[in-house]
Every structure is written in structure tokens, then in C-alpha cells.
Amino acid sequence: MWSTMLKPTIGLEIHAELLTQSKVFCTCPASFGGSENSRCCPVCSGLPGTLPVLNQKAVEFIIRAGMATECDISLFTKWDRKNYFYPDLPKAYQISQMPRPVCLNGKVRLKSGKVIRINRIHLEEDAGKLTHEGGATLADYNRCGIPLIELVTEPDFASAEEVTEFVAEIRARYMYCGISDGKMEQGSLRVDVNISLADEHADTLGTRSEIKNLNSLRSIARAIEYETHRQGEILGKGGKVTQETLRFSDGTGETSSLRSKEDAHDYRYFPDPDIPPVLITEEEIAVIRGTMPEMPSSRYDRYVNKCGIPHKDAENIVADKHLSDFFDEAATLLDEPRKIANYLLSELLYRINLGEGTTDNLPFTPADFVRVIELVEGGKVSRSHLKDILREMLATGSKPDSICEQNNYLIKEDLSLVSDTIDKILAENVAAVAQLKNGEQKVFGFLMGKANSLLKGAATPKIIKETLEKKLK
């Protein structure tokens, strides 16, 4: 048991691979996947005599990341070698930035109003991937040299909830900027958590541990909860926490030691002699700023305050840039944003969550989706056919009108048939009609149900209801 007087202090390092076509210092493709060591060259493999050449698009992307987090953008930045020997780094050094990063002094406001300070965002090259199998370690260097930005916060977090909200927000902003796909499960975005415990009245922070390479919001929350408890147990018994680097196991829900934790001086940073410094002009910054999209927090406010969409629905839409873009375009075609949001979340997203499609590759347009809404709301198609229409649109990309015609979903509104059918129902249910006329209104639903069942596809529920009401007068 540990004292509640001990309070956690948490800082983050968020690593995001950039969506450039090629790697940061060579022309190898930067896309995910490929057979092991098939996307490497002498430069990213660190062979002697090779020279790196900077990918300018990576510099543009880190500037966009800084603008998305209210950072100051440096007009002068340079490159350093971070020296360490580990099998995932064939050069035995990583080209990174230490004293002169591109972005400094940013901030992000949480929903509670608390401001999280960003110390820096710097650009570097990613390392390779190691796989441990049967006592052997296999190295895949496809990832080596992919442009990676690292966002470093101040130790401003006090809980797992604050951390996961911040990471989700950063992930969303990077995706909105078009600089990262945010696919944590593929390692495109990874988080290191630095955590320490100290008495809440202490003037100094406690000894920190760093939990490396967390790749889901759930893992981040679980790792923080476990490590907080672990350090609390040690301190509660009068022990001392060791400064070390930890790994977190999703299987056991526990952290374990990887190595003792290094400080910056252990890496022996020195200027990279092969890559010249980068000078960024105010004009270049202004051009990039002019291409920045509306951020998710701004879209959320617009959806809630201008479109009247419920808070939770607005959160669900802005959580996915593809979904948000789709909604915005649909809303320009049909001036009923709440109705669009309802269909989007309760119908389309439901089908996607069943595995019938993905938001980043929808085979139909917002105009097609709006047409489905118009068909259902206009009484041309029964709501019961809605899931079938969307399922076929997701599978084939076919137009909704074509689907309805081919499958006989269109309601033909045969008024003569409606009148005759309702006459027959009333004649066969004389007792129910008498109950209704004596004030038992629930009987109307019984009669309406019978009419809807018999007239399915022959008329809209609205026409059936109006006809039934007239005949009962």
C-alpha cells in the first residue's frame, strides 16, 4: 500500500513517422510493409562512403506539425549525430537534432482547460525493427531512415486520462495536417512515457522511469497505471526508484527493465558534418500556414455551436479526419447537418465497424450518401432497406438509385391498393375498430402494423397512416 500523498508527474515523447514518399536522407520508399530488408540502400544502411541528402518535404511536414501545436518555428536549424550502439541502427548513430530543433515552445489545451506545454518537436531518422524469435534477434532495416518527428512535452500530466486525451488530440492533428497516418498498430505513431512519483509538497520531482514504444491508447493507460502503482509500492516501503528504461507487456499488463536510463550527454551529440544547416524564410512559413486545414478542435466547436450536433456525436466525427471531411462535403449538399450526422454515425459507421468498409477508402461519394438520405426521408425507400443499400454501396460502389431499381426497393405508392387493403383490414378487425372508437388509442398501432406488413413496398408509411386515419373517422 502506498501513500496518497505521492503524486505522479508524467511527460511524453511522441514519435510520428511522416507521410513522405521517400526516406529522409535517401530515395528509398518510406511506405509501410514490404519483405524484410527490401527497401534499403547504402545510405540508409549506413555503408561507408555514402552521403545523406535531406528530403525537403520532411522539413515542410515538421513545420506543419509545429503550426498545429502553436509552436515557434525556427528560422535556422541544424543536424546532429546521436551516438549509440544497438542492432536496429546500422550506422551506430542516428541523425537527429539536439540544440536547434525546428519547433519550440508549443502548447495544447485539454478539454478541462489545462494547458500542456510542448518543449520541442525535432526531426530525425527512424531506426530499424528487431524481432526476437527462439533466442535469436532478426533485424529488418526497411524502417531505417523513414522521417520521424519527436514531440517532447514538459512534465505537465498528472493522470493517464490526461495523457490519453493529449495523445489522441496530437494524433488527430497530425492526421488532419496530412503528415501522418496515425496508425499506432503499425508503429506509425509511438509513445514513450516518462513517469515519476514524489510527495505532492516536494520541491523536486522523483526519479523517473521511461516506458518505451507504447502503440495504443489502451496500452498507454494501462502502463501508466501499473508503473504508478509499482513506484508507489517501492517508495511506500522506503525504497528508491531506479532510473531506467522499461518495456510494457500487453499480455501481463506489467513493465519490465530494458536497460538503465541514459541522459542526453550519454549520446555524445555532435554536429553532423555531412548535412548543411537549413535556413527557413518567413515567406516559406507564410505559404505553409496558408495551406493548413481546420483543426479538429475548431471543427468540433463548429459542429456543436453552428450545426447543433450533440457533443458526443461531434467528438465521434472529428475523431476521424476522413469521416469529418466526408461529413463536411455532405453538409454542403444537404442543409440538415444533424440528420447527416445521425445517418453517418448510426448507419454508415455501424456498417464500417462490422468490417464492411473503411472510412479512408469509401467507394462512393458524399453526394451518393446524401441521395440515400433523400430516398429514405422522402418516403421513396423503406428504412428497413437502408442497411441493404449501404451494404451494397460499400461492396460495389454502385449508385443508390441503381441499387433500388435492381432490387425493387422503390416504393410505388399504389393508392388504390392502399385503400382496398385497409378496407379489408378494418372489415376483418371489427372489434379492434370498436375499441379504438371507444378511446383505446393503442389499437391504432395494431392496425397500422397490419397495414404496413401487407403494403410493404406499395406505399410510404406516411400515406398508409393518412389513409387509415381518414377511414377511421
DSSP labels, 136-205? EEEEE-TTTT-EEEEEEE-S-B-SHHHHHHHHHHHHHHHHHHTS----GGGTSEEEEEEEEEEETT-SS-
User: What's the confidence (pLDDT) of residue 463?
Assistant: 80
- Condensed to tens digits (0 to 9), the pLDDT of residues 325-339 reads 999 999 999 999 999
Helix 321-333 × helix 160-177 angle, to 10°: 60
- Condensed to tens digits (0 to 9), the pLDDT of residues 237-283 reads 888 988 999 999 999 999 988 877 556 557 788 899 999 999 999 99
User: What's the confidence (pLDDT) of residue 162?
Assistant: 97
Structure letter (DSSP) for residue 303:
H
User: What's the confidence (pLDDT) of residue 397?
Assistant: 94
- Ordered structural domains, the chain, with CATH: 6-284 (no CATH), 306-406 (no CATH), 415-471 (1.10.10)
Please report how many Cα atoms fall inside a 13 Å half-sphere around the Cα of residue 300, on the Cβ side: 15
Please give the Cα distance from 373 to 334 (Å, whole number).
9
Q: Which residues have a Cβ under 8 Å from the Cβ of 400 and sit 6 or more positions away?
A: 368, 371, 372, 375, 389, 393
Across the strands, what pairs with 7? 198
Element (H, E) at 212: strand 209-214
Tens place of pLDDT for every residue, the chain, 473 residues?
Answer: 455 578 999 999 999 999 999 999 999 999 888 899 999 999 998 888 899 999 999 999 999 999 999 999 999 999 999 998 888 888 889 999 988 899 999 999 998 999 999 999 999 999 998 888 888 989 999 999 999 999 999 999 999 999 999 999 999 999 999 999 999 988 899 999 999 998 887 888 889 999 999 999 999 999 999 999 999 999 888 889 889 999 999 999 999 888 775 565 577 888 999 999 999 999 999 999 999 999 999 999 999 999 999 999 999 999 899 999 999 999 999 999 999 999 999 999 999 999 999 998 999 999 999 999 999 988 888 888 899 999 999 999 999 999 999 998 887 766 777 788 888 888 888 888 888 787 788 878 888 888 877 877 667 777 888 888 887 87
